[in-house]
Amino acid sequence: MRFEIIIFLVPIVILAFSSCERKKEEIKTKNQLISYLDTLEQKYENACIETGLANWNLYSGSGKENLDYAKKKFSEIFLNKNNQKLIEEWRARSSSLADDTLSRRLELWWRCFLGGQIYTDSIIAIKENNLQKKIANFKFKYANEPITLAEINNKLRKEKNSKIRYKLWNVVSQLSAEAKEDLVELVKLRNEKAKSLGFYNFYSLSLYLQQIDEEWLIKTLNSLEEQTNRKFQEFIDASKKKHRVKVIYPWDFEAMIYNWTTISDSYFPKDSIFYILDKFYNNIGFKTDSLPIKKLIRAIPFGGLNIGIKIPDDSRFILNPIDGIRFYQVAFHEYGHALQIVHTNIKYPILKGYEWIPGASCGAYSEGVAELQTQFVTDPEWLKKYTGASQDEIDKYIATKNFGEIYAMRKTLKDFFFEYEMYKDPDQDLDLLEKTMYKKYLLVEIPNNTPHRFAASIWYTMYPCYYQNYILSEMIASQLYEVILNKFGDSRIENPEVSKWIISSLYANGEMEEWYIRIKNASGKSLETGAYLRKLNVIK
């Protein structure tokens, strides 16, 4: 497969070079530059569409996927050194253009040429695509019978026997054993490419492309760990007492949280989710019947997955059939992604926020405005209106849900710092690193004979250097939901003005501004931990 791609790619790239060389000589004016970018961005959008469709077909099972062909389309753009040189030259002159939109297009193109050199590297692409397909198509077995990730998660929550939970938890290690060697090789390849571009490693490059300050990020995440440590330890101690056990292991958390923080799964029927989505979002002003959003329920290696095929004309999402309120939270999150995509009102493809090329958008922002929608599902007023739960049940859930939220945050910290340290030194003992991270962030020991699980995470393959975005997204969502509470008060779950504010403040202008500027403009302040910690009931 590698040779097939290289053989067919070389003549295409050569033709692109010669064609672009002629264009480069002619681009002497601002109007010529705009025309050039318009043509380049049409090619870019076509490649985004091909990649979106390939990923949709892979996970939806609705057609033939060809990830290699899709990435080849990007290669024709981002492996072209003359394209890159032209962008660099005009970006350096952007201040003299007196055109904010054009300057922004040049800035994002410059970043995409950095990220695109890794994304379209033929060796990295083949390794990444093969590993992605291996993970997506892996067949898990439990007691010699097929089992899906959704079934594992559902069983872990409700299984009362810790020994059985241990066996269920270890099923994921089947895939990790198969994927570990390939993952480590992929990490090394990404690092080598990032270093050739002048960065310490691939993680540092990834953060730069998303305009996330690395020093600020590590300081912020360490602060969240420190401020939630005591409350999380209290939860562990209380769980030991409640269940009369001396030791808690990582495979016990889901069941213990389910017992602490439960609201009946019967209030969240899977077959009603799309009806509920339409009903609620119509009430706050979204015209759901006319939105080009496709919905599907299917077992996948994610809780859920949204793909913007063509922005703003085609967005599709898949939900993994897990049980209970978490299913609704995932559904609202993925629908939040779709809402952003179909309400992006900007004509330039490079500014639409396509997710494929690092540098084109900030994952923390897109996850944050998606997670904003999830806040409604745990709002007591929403629960009262859209479920059959009694007021007592709702009050109990609201009072105890912080245990699960703090656990989820600290689990994500574990995943982030594991990957962050893995990119620093992929040759270290990664099995030991995983155990160390469990102890530091989840405050539990893993027995030495327990097989590793880390390589089974499709995020390390398909969305590398991404886990910090889920914590930043919680900070963003909490900060923005406080704005909604302050602006709309008791009418927040039925006021059509809510959608207007969300669309105009968070969606419409795409990537015209940096993500942190959009947060500050919408909330009145820079992103900080305060709202998130208040949500977790750590501070008042």
Number of H helices and E strands in the chain, helices first, is: 23, 5
User: How many Å apart are CA 324 and CA 326, to the nearest integer?
Assistant: 5
Contacts 24+ apart (CB under 8 A), 398-401: 400/260, 400/261, 401/261
Give the pLDDT band of residue 191 (cuts 50, 70, 90).
very high
Query: What pLDDT score was predicted for residue 258?
Result: 85
- Residue 38 neighbours by CB distance under 10 Å: 13
Query: What pLDDT score was predicted for residue 261?
Result: 74
User: How many Å apart are CA 353 and CA 360, to the nearest integer?
Assistant: 6
pLDDT, greater one: 3 or 19: 19
Give the pLDDT band of residue 63 (cuts 50, 70, 90).
confident
The average pLDDT across 2-14 equals 30
Chain centre to alpha carbon of residue 93: 34
Q: 41 lies in a domain? A: yes
Query: What pLDDT score was predicted for residue 260?
Result: 80
- Say whether pLDDT at 463 is over 60: yes
User: How many Å apart are CA 270 and CA 401, to the nearest integer?
Assistant: 21
Q: Give the lowest-confidence range in 63-72, 166-175, 482-491.
A: 63-72
Query: What pLDDT score was predicted for residue 65?
Result: 79
User: How many Å apart are CA 456 and CA 152, to the nearest integer?
Assistant: 14
The answer to whether 531 and 368 have CB atoms below 8 angstroms apart is no
Query: What pLDDT score was predicted for residue 85?
Result: 94
- Say whether pLDDT at 298 is over 90: yes
Give the chain's mean pLDDT: 92
Angle at 484 between CA 480 and CA 490, to 5 degrees: 150
Domain of 72 in residue numbering reads as 2-120
Query: What pLDDT score was predicted for residue 325?
Result: 94
- Say whether pLDDT at 5 is over 50: no
HSE toward the beta carbon, residue 222, CA cutoff 13 A: 6
Query: What pLDDT score was predicted for residue 10?
Result: 30
Q: 532 lies in a domain? A: no
Q: 322 lies in a domain? A: no
The average pLDDT across 402-417 equals 96
- Say whether pLDDT at 18 is over 50: no
The answer to whether 82 and 21 have CB atoms below 8 angstroms apart is yes
Query: What pLDDT score was predicted for residue 64?
Result: 82
Contacts 24+ apart (CB under 8 A), 430-437: 430/180, 430/184, 430/454
Percent of the chain past pLDDT 90, that is, above it, reads: 84
Q: Of the candidates 407, 48, 105, which has an alpha carbon nearest to the alpha carbon of residue 235?
A: 407
Query: What pLDDT score was predicted for residue 69?
Result: 85
List, for residues 317-338, the tens digit of each pLDDT value. Answer: 999 999 999 999 999 999 999 9
* Span between the terminal Cα atoms of the chain, in Å: 57
HSE toward the beta carbon, residue 458, CA cutoff 13 A: 18
Query: What pLDDT score was predicted for residue 467?
Result: 96
- Say whether pLDDT at 7 is over 50: no
Query: What pLDDT score was predicted for residue 303?
Result: 86
The average pLDDT across 401-424 equals 96
Which residues partner with 305 through β-bridges?
318
Q: How many domains does the chain have?
A: 1
- Say whether pLDDT at 498 is over 60: yes
User: How many Å apart are CA 48 and CA 52, to the nearest integer?
Assistant: 6
Q: 346 lies in a domain? A: no
User: How many Å apart are CA 317 and CA 335, to the nearest integer?
Assistant: 7
Query: What pLDDT score was predicted for residue 70?
Result: 82
Q: 6 lies in a domain? A: yes
Q: 249 lies in a domain? A: no
List, for residues 241-270, the tens digit of each pLDDT value. Answer: 988 999 999 999 999 988 887 799 999 999
For 407-475, give the secondary structure using H, E and C: HHHHHHHHHHHHHHHHHHCCCCCHHHHHHHHHHHHHCCCCCCCCCCCHHHCCHHHHCCCCCHHHHHHHH
Q: 200 lies in a domain? A: no
User: How many Å apart are CA 99 and CA 268, to the nearest integer?
Assistant: 50
Give the pLDDT band of residue 9 (cuts 50, 70, 90).
very low
Give the pLDDT band of residue 520 (cuts 50, 70, 90).
very high
Q: 38 lies in a domain? A: yes
List, for residues 473-497, the tens digit of each pLDDT value. Answer: 999 999 999 999 999 999 999 999 9
Residues 6+ apart with CB under 8 A from 111: 209, 358, 359, 360
